[in-house]
Amino acid sequence: MNLNLPSQFGKIPRHALSYSWPSPIHLLPKLTETAHSQGQDGSRVALWVKREDQAGPLACYGNKYRKFEYIIPDILAQKQKHGRAPTMLVTEGGTQSNHTVQVASIARVLDLKCIVLLHKGIGGLRKAGDKEAFIKVGNVQLNRLLGADVRLTDERDTGDEKGPLIPLLDELRAQGEVPYWISSGASLHPLGGLGYARCAFEIEFQEQQMVREAQFVTGTNRFDYIFVACGSGSTLAGLIAGFKLLEKLKPDADQPPRKIIGVLVSRKSRSSQEDRILRLSRMAGQLVGLDAETDITPDDIHLDDRFVGHAYGILDSDTAATVELAASTDALVLDPVYTAKVMRGMMCWARDRTASGATSRNALGKGLTNALFIHTGGQSALNAYADVWPSST
């Protein structure tokens, strides 16, 4: 797979973890029809999914692995930079964090120790009927299976700094360890957005292949809208930077820019998240060859905060219904923290557009609309939510 990355981007060191072929993209035919159940005649949106949960061979594959493809070279370079190679990875997350499982898996690949700090106040623990089970099953169990030293804490993640990890890191150094800290979601790492900047080029590569194979059945022979979860932010930010770079390299006056929509999964203020995504997008953009201040603007940031539910990691009835809908139609398994909220957001968007007839023609009169859902994984957390499932089915 030759993505033809520009020189500055292509020279950034990358440690491949994914398969040598793109993660699959396929149509969601039944969910597409469901979205049209309220639509007017002639209004069509085709819903597609990119299976980041099937992108590679390691445990519980998901979006964080793309980030680590660019972070691993930095881990391996620490000995040359500082004289000592890291002996362990240290990270944090909510109780059922997908990110921590992927860090633990990376530690196995690199033959490093791993400490995972899980914050009991973040996620679904406080609403779980069986709290003892919640802190043992799902991703917690997988972290331990992968050999991580799992430590649960009542201290809350600061979301931006090392916070409660600082005393732990100092303690580890005093013991002779060389810890390499990875922030929650790897989003604060300077290289955290590069994986999904590269993914933008992969999506464009797949669009071209789909055109050659006549796979698009509607519209502009590309994905006009792309929906992805927005938690710690660098997955969305990387996509924004990557597609802005593509627009600069391959300007097309006949096509409006793709719209990348981040569906918020926590109750952080929308304005603060917009500022964060803009900052992370510009950080990734500068690394890959964009002018951070002029090429990426606030107008490129599109967030939807209507589908958060009660809070991050707390399963609500609407999210649960979306999990069941996707499974019972296109046999697509979602997770209750991220992907189900994104799917609900995309379905509501599609219904709104088809109900109004807005998709019968795009702004350039070229036909109908293709929307792509980025499936970031996370299904391994499902069984932790078994006793709080609100559905009566």
Would you state the pLDDT for residue 348? 93
Q: Give the active site residue among 18, 23, 43, 97.
A: 97
Cα dist. 328→171, 322, 331 in Å? 49, 10, 6
Give the count of beta carbons closer than 10 Å to the beta carbon of residue 272.
Answer: 10
Q: What is the pLDDT of residue 372?
A: 97
Distances in Å between the Cα of 101 and the Cα atoms of 23, 62, 104, 355 are 20, 10, 5, 41
Residues 6+ apart with CB under 8 A from 326: 31, 332, 333, 334, 340, 343
Q: CB burial class (10 A; 0-12, 13-18, 19+) of residue 125?
A: buried
| pLDDT tens digit at each of 393 positions of the chain | 889 999 999 999 999 999 999 999 999 999 999 987 644 445 578 999 999 999 999 999 999 999 999 999 999 999 888 889 999 999 999 999 999 999 999 999 999 999 999 999 888 888 888 899 999 999 999 999 999 999 998 865 444 455 667 889 999 999 999 999 999 899 999 999 999 999 999 999 999 999 999 998 767 789 999 999 999 999 999 999 999 999 999 998 888 899 999 999 998 889 999 999 999 999 999 999 999 899 999 999 999 999 999 899 999 999 999 999 999 999 999 999 999 999 999 999 998 875 554 443 443 334 478 999 999 999 999 999 987 665 544
> Can you give the pTM of this predicted structure?
0.93
Backbone angles phi, psi at 46, to 5 degrees: -100, 125
pLDDT, residue 365, reads 36
pLDDT number for residue 113: 98
The two tokens of residue 215 are 């796979």
- Distance between CA 45 and CA 36 in Å, rounded? 8
Are the C-beta atoms of residues 337 and 331 closer than 8 Å to each other?
A: no
- How far apart, in whole angstroms, are the C-alpha atoms of residue 264 and residue 379? 18
CB atoms within 10 A of CB 225: 20
Helices marked H in 215-269 — which ranges?
234-249
Predicted confidence at residue 355, as pLDDT, reads 54
Distance CA 319, CA 102 (A): 24
> In terms of Cα–Cα distance, which of 43, 5, 393, 29 is closest to 195?
5
Distance from the Cα of residue 18 to its chain's centroid = 15
* pLDDT reported for residue 163: 61
- CB neighbour class for 2 (10 Å; exposed up to 12, middle 13-18, buried from 19): exposed
DSSP string, 8-57: HHHTS-----S-SSPPPEEE-HHHHHHHTTTPPTT--EEEEEEEGGGS-S
Residue 97 annotated to the active site: yes
- CB contact at 8 A, 307 and 327: no
Is the CB of residue 240 less than 8 Å from the CB of residue 280? no
- Give me the domains of the chain, ranges plus CATH numbers: 7-58+192-388 (3.40.50.1100), 64-186 (3.40.50.1100)
